[in-house]
């Protein structure tokens, strides 16, 4: 069995656990509590510290830092750790931080892409097939669900949930939960519509997309109070519409439109 390919200038702790085919480039630092799965590549000047577990075939560009303390007055939790799945790409200057809450690792799923300068904060959860554009800033405790896209230079408030298949266009900013399947094209919490082209490309039936568009109009353009509109959606025969209703109900029950605020101590 071959040994990992480690550049002479890299500092890799003897306690770190590296799969045999891992590549560690020049001037990298890998701490003692780091585990790297098969096929991972650290191109150079990458820092992995703290309790960090990385799955197979993850790619780290120069100046990525994973495992730093939270950007917060509170220290990391005693059991703080970061869990990263497989096939993720971290471009230059991406940062991923340890959690503050015990029992809640900062977690990244599979097949995600983090463009230059994007930030995954403490206690965040990232699903699968998510893209964060350049310099996207997520605040603490954010959950970004599967297949979401967040455009460059956008920001997401702490404790916000970004639903699956949501699109936040470039220079967007939201401070409330974003229900699934919708697209946001400006500052503020009001979506512009359903993400029709992407849902069609992904194979969603036309009848489902049409039902989502009707649900969008009922919630955001009917003039009904938000809780009444959400109540109407709960009886829909379309599962995707009921999914929107669940997210709306949770956000309305939370604080300031954010269901995950319940995690706040």
Task: List residues with catalytic annotation.
Answer: 122-123, 140
What are the C-alpha distances in Å from 231 to residues 7, 103, 190, 219?
Answer: 59, 34, 19, 10
Q: Residue 12 has which token pair?
A: 């890799």
Q: Residue 256 has which token pair?
A: 């300031």
Cα gap 264→23, rounded to integer Å: 39
Please check whether residue 157 is in contact with residue 174, taking contact to mean a CB–CB distance below 8 angstroms. Answer: yes
């Amino acid at each position: 069995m071959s040994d990992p390919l480690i550049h002479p200038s890299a500092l890799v702790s003897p306690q770190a656990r590296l799969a045999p085919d891992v590549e560690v480039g020049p001037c990298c630092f890998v701490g003692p509590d780091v585990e790297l799965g098969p096929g991972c590549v650290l191109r150079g000047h990458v820092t992995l510290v703290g309790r960090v577990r990385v799955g197979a075939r993850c790619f780290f560009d120069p100046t990525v830092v994973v495992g730093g303390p939270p950007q917060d007055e509170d220290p990391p939790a005693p059991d703080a750790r970061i869990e990263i799945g497989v096939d993720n790409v971290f471009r230059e200057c991406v940062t991923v931080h340890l959690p503050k809450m015990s029992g809640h690792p900062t977690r990244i799923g599979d097949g995600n892409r983090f463009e230059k300068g994007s930030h995954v904060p403490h206690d965040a959860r990232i699903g699968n097939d998510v893209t964060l554009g350049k310099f996207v800033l997520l605040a603490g405790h954010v959950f970004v669900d599967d297949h979401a896209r967040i455009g460059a230079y956008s920001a997401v408030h702490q404790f916000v949930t970004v639903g699956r298949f949501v699109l936040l266009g470039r220079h967007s900013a939201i401070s409330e939960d974003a229900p699934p399947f919708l697209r946001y094209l400006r500052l503020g919490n009001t979506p512009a519509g359903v993400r029709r082209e992407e849902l069609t490309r992904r194979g969603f039936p036309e009848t489902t997309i049409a039902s989502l568009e009707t649900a969008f109009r009922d919630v955001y353009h009917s003039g009904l109070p938000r809780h009444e509109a959400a109540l109407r959606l709960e009886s829909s025969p379309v599962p995707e519409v009921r999914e929107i209703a669940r997210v709306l109900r949770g956000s309305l029950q939370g604080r300031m439109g954010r269901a995950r605020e319940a995690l706040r101590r």
